[in-house]
Copies of this chain bind each other. A is one copy, B any other.
Amino acid sequence: MLLKKTVLVAAMLLSTSLLSTTTIAGSEIALLIDMLRDNGTVSEEQYQRLQAELKQIQNQAQNQNPIQVEPPFHATQTVKPIVVKATSDKFTAQLGGRLQIDAASYSGEPKMGNGTEVRRAYLTLKGTLSPDWAYRFQYNFADTGEDGKGILDAFVAYQGMDDFDVTVGHFKAPFTLHEATSDNFVTFTERASVAAFSPGRQIGAMISDSNDNRTWAIGAFGESVSQHGGEEDEAFGLSSRATWSPLNQPRQVLHLGLGMNYQQTGSLDTVRYKQQAETHVAGVNLVDTGVINQAENVLKLGAEFAGVWGPFATQIEYVSTSVNRNKVDDVHFDGWYAETSYFLTGESRHYSQGHFARTKPLKQVGKGGLGAWQLALRYSELDLNDGAILGGETEAVTLGLNWFPTSALRFSANYVDVLAVDGGPNADLTPRLFQVRSQWSF
């Protein structure tokens, strides 16, 4: 009798597991009940009760979503997961999102209009097709003009070899620490003015490798994702970066890096470098070389230093850009910045594989904490004057405050004071600006 009760209750319990294993357990449960009736363990009456119980649970299982996810908004609504056809055991698909909403206020000359902007709105789909093959697609929906809307990352990577990975598609040419660091995680709302030399994303193929103490990458690139080339060959480029982190611990990092980027200018034989006042809302260029003709190719060299000591972090980069011109003198531009930051709430800047990554507050808002608060200071220079080219040389200092209520949220306020502009279209004009950003990303 005791046994019967035990078996009966056990069968009831087991049948609840139907909810997660409906497809395979149904017949075994029925078999068990039949067996128990046949050998007399359960009486006919108990058998009927078991059958009724089983039917009821099966009905529940059919009417119920097998996945019990916390409902996003209302506790009563039914939700189901978005799925993908798996191409292998190790197939995975992950969605990411990012939104940056900016507002900026300007004073001084040149005139820049106060305003607002959806700075970036990204969706990302990434994962692994099978154990050794990774994929990634990322799109910017924010239509902010020439550097806005369009395909960002779009590649496939083979990661099955010991010595290096191979990546093919559209992705960032490896060059400089502040480009390798996502705009989610750079210290200020805009990268330093020397970002005027960043090669950006192009279609190409790259080999790369990394471990805890070094990374290297070298790739061959065509042009950016774009319209048809028509009759002209695309310009060809090479980019490479190597980093060394002799010290790489959670709260102590020493990072050194070198980069080289070579780019043909294509059939137009032109290049142009320009930069805003470390802001993006107004869209006004502070320095601008205009179109430089008779340019055959460009060679850029970059040097990187960064360090993390507990809540302190510092980062210094220098980039030199040489435009090799045909029949006229070559021109050389350069720029650099130094920044330092301090977490008032004790966090430490997160470094991984040659770049900085997501900040996790020690105590997030909503769990008894204030989130992470970070103060930061940056000095930057960009020199676009050389020979006959007078694009302007600018110096600026930026004071920044970042608040991370949780690891997914960031609110930033930046005050930028342009100290000097020598030459160029806005010579001797030194604007000041205040910019705030609301950001979520995951």
Binding site for B on A (CB under 8 A): 2-3, 5-7, 9-10, 12-14, 16-17, 19-25, 28-29, 31-32, 35-36, 39, 41, 60, 62-63, 65-73, 77-97, 99, 101, 103, 110-118, 121, 123, 125-133, 135, 137, 139, 141-145, 150-151, 154-156, 160, 168-170, 203-204, 222-223, 225-234, 267, 280-284, 364-366, 405-409, 438-440, 442
Contact = CB atoms under 8 A, between A and B. Distances in A.
B69 A83 contact: yes
Nearest to A235: B115
Contacts of A231: 110-113, 282, 284
A228 B145 contact: yes
A256 to B, nearest CB: 25
Given A129-B408, A203-B118, A63 B89 contact: yes
A328 to B, nearest CB: 26
Contact of A169 (B101, B133, B233, B409): B101
Nearest to A131: B366
A88 B144 contact: no
Given A82-B83, A115-B234, A121 B137 contact: yes
28 contacts: A2-B39, A2-B41, A3-B3, A6-B41, A14-B17, A20-B20, A21-B68, A22-B68, A24-B60, A66-B67, A66-B68, A67-B81, A69-B80, A80-B93, A83-B92, A83-B94, A84-B97, A97-B125, A110-B231, A116-B204, A116-B234, A130-B366, A133-B409, A145-B228, A228-B282, A229-B282, A230-B283, A230-B284
Max count, chain B CB within 10 A of own CB: residue among A20, A80, A170, A438: A80
Contact of A24 (B19, B78, B85): B19
Contact of A233 (B6, B19, B113, B406): B113
Contacts of A129: 406, 408-409, 440, 442
Copies of this protein in the assembly total: 3
B79 A85 contact: yes
B144 A151 contact: no
B78 A81 contact: no
Contacts of A81: 67, 69, 81-84, 93
A203 B116 contact: yes
Contact of A115 (B39, B118, B223, B365): B223
Contacts of A114: 229, 233-234
Contact of A25 (B13, B23, B70): B13
Complex A-B, nearest 9 residue pairs according to Cβ-Cβ distance, in ascending order: A228-B283, A87-B408, A20-B20, A115-B234, A116-B222, A72-B92, A116-B203, A113-B229, A81-B81
A288 to B, nearest CB: 14
Contact of A84 (B60, B86, B442): B442
